[in-house]
Chain A
Amino acid sequence: ETGVTQSPTHLIKTRGQQVTLRCSSQSGHNTVSWYQQALGQGPQFIFQYYREEENGRGNFPPRFSGLQFPNYSSELNVNALELDDSALYLCASSLPGASVDTQYFGPGTRLTVL
Chain B
Amino acid sequence: QKEVEQDPGPLSVPEGAIVSLNCTYSNSAFQYFMWYRQYSRKGPELLMYTYSSGNKEDGRFTAQVDKSSKYISLFIRDSQPSDSATYLCAIGTTDSWGKLQFGAGTQVVVTP
Chain A interface (Cβ < 8 Å from any Cβ of B): 2, 4, 31, 33, 35, 40-45, 48, 56, 58, 88, 90, 92, 94, 96-97, 100-101, 103-108, 110
Chain B residues 28-50 with CB under 8 Å of chain A are: 32, 34, 36, 41-46, 49
Q: How far does the alpha carbon of A106 sit from the alpha carbon of B100 in the complex, in Å?
A: 15
Please give, as numbers and ranges, the residues of chain B lying within 8 Å of A40 by CB-CB distance.
8, 104-105
**B101, A45: Cβ atoms closer than 8 Å:** yes
**B88, A42: Cβ atoms closer than 8 Å:** yes
**How far in angstroms is the closest Cβ of chain A from B21?**
13
Q: Which of B12-20, B61-69, B77-85, B90-98 lines the interface with chain A? A: B90-98
**B100, A45: Cβ atoms closer than 8 Å:** yes
Select one of B34, B43, B96, B103 contacting A108, CB under 8 A. Answer: B43
